[in-house]
Structure 1
């Protein structure tokens, strides 16, 4: 996913949405996991901030959970739902218009930190299984993730291209 995601960092959400819509459904599954996991894995503060950030965007949060279900790992989805329940007790999700979440919230609110800490620990414990499940799925269904052109397709693409023939 890195070749797709890296050029999109910091780009316009409309562009990200367009690229996402051009992915296969399985690539979309992987994209959503990758987007969440690679942000949330670094620390409790990052787990908190990124979860709150995606919660403030209900369409994206729903998509993350839906896409993770497609890999057959209900444990991670259950954990995300538990985290969502905890954050709702602190008035999350907030809209993006009023998004004022800070990593310092955990320093200033020990109860919030104590509520999220075991969830983040569980996240760290179960994501290796999630990654393994995703790897197994990809190996069983490579055609859902990569496009392999036949010699005939390549010939047709070259024939139909704007390049001058030799």
Structure 2
């Protein structure tokens, strides 16, 4: 099965078993589970947490970028994960998105998180800034998913346990 999965499916197959361990749990449990992961699993987890949400639409790309930026530790871990996989194009894209959001005084904590999916409908300048990045996000994602899949295939012990 390992060799028969396409790259995107392979990354997902390595990511999915982590979800039940954290779904509906408090932040302490989530942090404990995260710390128990290998560096590769952490990188894969943070990539997929962002990618799986942000890839759904322009509004989702915008909102989830702002959501994670309002959690500096999580945003940093997403970028660490991208560096781990040497996903430089995606890292550069997220840094550009970060610059746009910071320039517009988007929240950097949940204390004042008031971002809405409708923001893009109500702000043409914001839409004009974010839309091209979303397009690039979708253009570069297949290559990054392929890179991650190749990394998993070359380093399976970081991501899965084979049973006898």
Counterpart of 1:82 in structure 2 is 96
What is the TM-score when the length of structure 1 is the normalising length?
A: 0.85
**Preserved contact between residue 100 and residue 129 of structure 2 (Cα < 8 Å):** yes
Larger radius of gyration: 1
User: Partners of 1:35 and 1:55 in 2: how far apart?
Assistant: 13
Structure 2: state its 5+ residue gaps.
1-14
Q: Which has the higher contact order (CA 8 A, sep 6+)?
A: 2
Is 1:119 aligned with 2:133?
Answer: yes
Counterpart of 1:12 in structure 2 is 26
Counterpart of 2:49 in structure 1 is 35
**Preserved contact between residue 82 and residue 91 of structure 2 (Cα < 8 Å):** yes
Could you say what secondary structure the match of 2:110 adopts? coil
Structure 1, 22-31 or 1-10: larger mean CA deviation: 1-10
Counterpart of 1:55 in structure 2 is 69
Note the C-alpha offset of 1:149.
Answer: 6.0
User: Partners of 2:32 and 2:144 in 1: how far apart?
Assistant: 27
User: Partners of 1:28 and 1:93 in 2: how far apart?
Assistant: 25
User: Partners of 1:48 and 1:9 in 2: how far apart?
Assistant: 23
User: Partners of 2:116 and 2:92 in 1: how far apart?
Assistant: 25
What is the TM-score when the length of structure 2 is the normalising length?
A: 0.86
Aligned residues: 150
Please identify runs of 4+ aligned residues in structure 1 that moved more than 4 A.
none
Structure 1: state its 5+ residue gaps.
151-166
User: Partners of 1:9 and 1:83 in 2: how far apart?
Assistant: 27
Counterpart of 2:149 in structure 1 is 135
Counterpart of 1:97 in structure 2 is 111
User: Partners of 1:9 and 1:45 in 2: how far apart?
Assistant: 24
Counterpart of 2:10 in structure 1 is none
